[in-house]
Structure 1
Amino acid sequence: MKINLKHIILVFTVLLISVIISLTGNFTKNDKSQGLDIEYIETELQQKYAYLEEQLKTISEEISTDTESAEKYFYTESSEIFKEQGIGYFYYYKNELKYWTTNNIPLPTSTTFNFFERPMINLNNGWYLCQFVSGEDWHLVGVFQFKKEYSYENDILKNTFYPDYNIDSKTTISLDSITKSDKVCLKDNDSESCFYLIPPEEDPYA
């Protein structure tokens, strides 16, 4: 039986095309898996932002009507909330910190509410989503640890994002736009505030 050269070339061509299509599909999947799902991140952070606001309003009502209940909330009922949700609440009276639910978030012990006006703030140990409510001589702050970020790392201290967001730990955050960074925006009533996620391969300081 003679093998037709044209048939061999045809079979080889079909196989080659199949391999190329397969490899292209894999590369596409890999690129997609490595990319940031900005829509998902924005949606989740917006929901967390709204949750913080709702909780702050509830806590502020308790503080204004019953100081004893407020102390119980901060030091008993919410003592595990940071471990469970990465969230902390802080009550300032006349700009001085009076109550707090965790020692793991290094907020200043004395500050005005202006410190918390941006939804994303940078502290000594990471980046936090921030929400606050205020009264005549007090302000109440809720913060969520979006990313742990330290000046150095070891077996205990690790730079990591909150696991729900599936973000590479080497991704960095900036309040200023950088080329090829991903813009993340949060809405607060009629205003909008944004920050930027910089993939490791695009970070000039990585």
Structure 2
Amino acid sequence: MRKRTRLTLATGVGLMLWGEWANRRASRRGVGPSRPGSEAVVVLGYRNTGARANGMNRWRVRAGLRSIDPRAPETRLVLCGGAVAGPETEAALMGRYAVQSRGYRGELVLEESSRSTWENIAFAIPYLKDVDRIKIVSLPTHAETARAYLAEQSPELAARLVAGREYRFGEWMPLKPVFALYGVAKELRGRFGSDHDDNGA
């Protein structure tokens, strides 16, 4: 019994450490070195059924806000997501949370038409053309997918991608193996067919 308990514990710890490694790696793929200048922080929304930002969208806003470089001369916060699962758009719900609950007072853009990650990026592109660096914030594996989409849609803009701060060691730790497996599944779908119709993650 003790041997089985130790094996179960070791397996659980191993899975969580693998999840940390996989998410950390995802957060650093598809980005270049940091550079000076203006920036856009693009936060991808998650399906939201209620009249206030759900837990995942609140976390994504916080991750976006902590990704802002206080040394940047200009920062534009771009919140993405249409009304996929509820009466209000994900972007509007996140914007309300950013301003009213987190005290954000900078430039804010709500992209409220998109219904998938592919569209999140496509519809955000007009707000990225005049900045020097771009950060895409979501769960690390989801943000990695979005960066790949930007590289497909606009290689010129993808060359301006830099890392955000969506990854933190220990944050979401029990769920990170699930997020990592999602990333593996997305990569496989991308190899064997299009996954451009996903509605966010």
* TM-score of the pair, normalised by structure 1: 0.24
For the pair shown, the structure with the greater C-alpha radius of gyration is: 1
Please state which structure has a larger fraction of its residues in helix.
2
